[in-house]
């Protein structure tokens, strides 16, 4: 699942919820024991179920959460659930105890769930300000029995990249630079980019970028990045944690006017079952250490090098001194 898919789905999530649950037909959650080699924990402090959505980064984050909590004495397991429409209700019920989330996206998901999709679309509560977004999230989450833990530096949001050669030739470092250049650009993205406020319309309105067309090759797909590398397109929509950009000779242009919402990574927990200060402190150590660049490298190891999320998580935590070797 791409970043854009998460954003697009947030406002419509409550509408899809009933359909998704019906289609699910009561299927059991897919469980993977965290730390199959040793990291499932002693269980002295109880057991915790960590939820993950069905895309690489969420699985990696869930394994990181599971392993650092296991190292602190909890018995942990990771449950992979297809999407937010399914795992968020399970978090409220206490079937899942902890999930890695993205501040702006979960805020708008809950905004739609609490206030209705039309109201959420007309009055979004997320913004490019991480602190303000988390404050709004807490107002939505706490009455539902959820506790929002502090957000970190790692952020996964829409990013627009060009070739390094193109950037150097036209002296581009920011999206403002691209707007001022008056260069016509074709964007390799999903076809929804034509209407999404954080894609083509936002680039035109916020930066004055001359978007002439959308090449519907998908968000951050190899085909999209290759099209920009080959010069067929000039700009590709991807994410800030895309670890493959360098291999395509691409570089992200800075979102200097903060068009994108603050999708900083943060844990959301069931307040009753996992709301202790100890759990918050343990996860807080990871949140403080993790960077956007780190996430990109971890994603690349899984998607590019075919490493397992649990192995990548273990190696990262040990390298940062966050768990015992």
Give yes or no for a contact between 268 and 51, defined as CB atoms under 8 angstroms apart: no
Note the pLDDT of residue 266: 98
Query: Which tokens sit at 256?
Result: 């200097």
Q: What is the mean pLDDT of residues 141-154?
A: 98
| Confidence band for 2, pLDDT divided at 50, 70 and 90 | very low
Greater confidence, 8 or 213? 213
Written as six digits, the tokens of 240 are 């800030």
Considering the chain, tell me which residue range(s) the CATH 3.40.190.120 domain(s) occupy: 158-253
Identify the pLDDT of residue 325: 87
| pLDDT (0 to 100) of residue 40 | 63
Q: Residue 244: what pLDDT?
A: 94
Q: How many CB atoms lie within 10 A of CB 43?
A: 13
pLDDT digit string, tens, across residues 55-110? 999 999 999 999 999 999 999 999 999 889 999 999 999 999 999 999 999 999 99
pLDDT tier, 312 (very low <50, low <70, confident <90, very high otherwise): very high
Query: Parallel, antiparallel, or unpaired for β 158-163 and 250-253?
Result: antiparallel
Question: What's residue 14's pLDDT?
Answer: 40
pLDDT, one tens digit per residue, over 251-306 is: 999 999 999 999 999 999 999 999 999 999 999 999 999 999 999 999 999 998 99
Q: How far apart are CA 294 and CA 281, in angstroms?
A: 21
Judged by average pLDDT, the poorest of 18-22, 107-111, 183-187, 242-246 is: 18-22
Residues of the chain within CATH 3.40.190.10 domain(s) are 47-155+262-320
CATH code 3.40.190.120 for 158-253: yes
CA of 133: how far to CAs of 226, 317, 324, in Å? 35, 28, 34
Architecture per CATH, domain 47-155+262-320, reads as 3-Layer(aba) Sandwich (3.40)
Which residues, including other chains, have CB under 8 Å from residue 104's CB and lie 6 or more apart? 7, 126, 127, 133, 157, 261, 262, 263
Task: Report the share of the chain in percent with pLDDT over 70.
Answer: 87
For residue 16, is pLDDT > 80?
Answer: no
Q: How confident is the model at residue 44 (pLDDT cuts 50, 70, 90)?
A: confident
Encoded tokens for 182: 């008056």
Predicted pLDDT at 171: 98
CB 3 within 8 A of CB 219: yes
Instruction: Identify the band that residue 42 occupies on the pLDDT scale cut at 50, 70 and 90.
Output: low
């Amino acid at each position: 699942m791409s970043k854009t898919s998460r954003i697009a789905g947030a406002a419509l999530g409550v509408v899809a919820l009933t359909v998704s649950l019906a289609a699910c037909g009561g299927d059991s959650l897919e469980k993977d024991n965290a730390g199959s080699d040793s990291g499932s924990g002693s269980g002295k402090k109880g057991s915790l179920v960590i939820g993950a959505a069905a895309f690489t980064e969420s699985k990696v984050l869930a394994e990181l959460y599971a392993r650092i909590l296991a190292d602190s004495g909890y018995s942990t397991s990771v449950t992979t659930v297809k999407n937010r429409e399914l795992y968020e209700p399970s978090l409220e019920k206490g079937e899942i105890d902890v999930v890695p989330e993205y501040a702006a996206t979960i805020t708008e998901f809950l905004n739609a769930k609490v206030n209705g999709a039309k109201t959420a679309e007309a009055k979004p509560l997320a913004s490019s300000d991480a602190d303000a977004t988390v404050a709004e999230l807490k107002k939505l989450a706490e009455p539902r029995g959820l506790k929002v833990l502090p957000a970190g530096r790692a952020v996964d949001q829409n990013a627009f990249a060009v070739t390094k050669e193109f950037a150097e030739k036209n002296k581009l470092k920011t999206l403002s630079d691209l707007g001022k250049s008056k260069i016509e650009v074709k964007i390799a993205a999903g076809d929804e980019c034509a209407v999404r406020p954080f894609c083509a319309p936002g680039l035109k309105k916020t930066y004055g970028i001359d978007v002439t067309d959308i090449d519907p090759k998908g968000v951050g797909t190899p085909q999209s990045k290759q099209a920009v590398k080959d010069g067929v397109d000039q700009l590709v929509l991807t994410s800030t944690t895309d670890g493959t950009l360098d291999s395509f000779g691409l570089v992200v242009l800075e979102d200097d006017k903060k068009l994108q919402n603050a999708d900083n990574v943060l844990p959301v927990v069931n307040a009753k079952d996992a709301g202790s200060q100890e759990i918050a402190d343990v996860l807080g150590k990871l949140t403080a250490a993790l960077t956007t660049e780190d996430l990109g490298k971890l994603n690349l190891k899984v998607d590019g090098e075919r490493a397992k999320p649990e192995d990548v998580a273990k190696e990262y935590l040990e390298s940062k001194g966050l768990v015992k070797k």
